[in-house]
Amino acid sequence: MRNARQCIVLQQPNAGNSRLKFRQKLCYTGSNNGSGGLRMVRIKILEDDPADRDTLIECLRKYEREQGQSFSITAYDNPSDFMDNYHMDADLIFMDIELPGINGIETSHQLRAADPVVALVFITNMEQYAINGYEVDALDFVIKPINYYRFSSMMLRALRNLPVRDEKEVILQAAGTIRRMRISQIYYVEIQDHLLLYHTDMGRIEAWGKLSDVEAELDTYNFARCSSAHLVNMQHITSVSKTEVIVGSTKLPISQRKRKAFCDRVIAYLNKTS
């Protein structure tokens, strides 16, 4: 059974043109069953030990190469930074149980309050600690030191059970390759001389079109115009002042003309999601 989802399609008009052209259509996408697919899996790691963190990343990259997967990996070494930067923008989370200050179990309760569906895998030195994972609906656990054979078996199960968020997607089609990208992966859209620049966690994507058309299409998905040249995904806003907004780590101007409407949209969004 396929799920109907509204998509934005960025399609390369011909092989000789490296820029992508903007058009829209209704797409049908099935759930991600971990069988390899084209969807990038967004993975976040909370692990305070640098050696253990590096080992986990090495295992993920090895699995990625062997299975033809595509992973976006972000790592944190403390619960505060992890939670401050979490915006329901992960498919799979690896979380150490033994952390400085607040431990992984307590952090996972905070995580579940913010995101009840993301797949969670605990990392621990002691197997008996993993039973605590049932409190927060953990998918599985990894015992240190990591054994790659056991890890790869766990990853197969985890990818088969990733949550499917009902989320608008962008389809990238170029040079015979198609890649799906969730709306949450877009930080902001910029216009420069009729060229749309999509700033995403996959890098910058260029497309022809009008920012007003994109704004109308994404209006119900928590995007707001902070200036005549910038359309911002409010999910990724980290700070707002009178004259600028920080999206991820990028500072963007707030124009005087757009200021009131933009700030009103941001306040309404924060009230809705708090």
Mean pLDDT of 125-134: 63
User: For the chain, what percent of residues have pLDDT higher than 90?
Assistant: 42
Full-model pTM: 0.55
Is 28's pLDDT higher than 60?
A: no
The pLDDT tens digits of the residues spanning 146-167 come to 999 999 999 999 998 887 666 6
Question: What residues have CB less than 8 Å from 102, skipping those under 6 apart?
Answer: 79
Ordered structural domains, the chain, with CATH: 41-160 (3.40.50.2300)
Question: What residues have CB less than 8 Å from 223, skipping those under 6 apart?
Answer: 189, 215, 231, 232, 233, 234
| The pair of three-digit structure tokens given for residue 188, joined into one six-digit string | 């902001």
The pLDDT tens digits of the residues spanning 201-250 come to 878 888 778 899 889 888 888 899 999 999 999 989 988 998 999 998 89
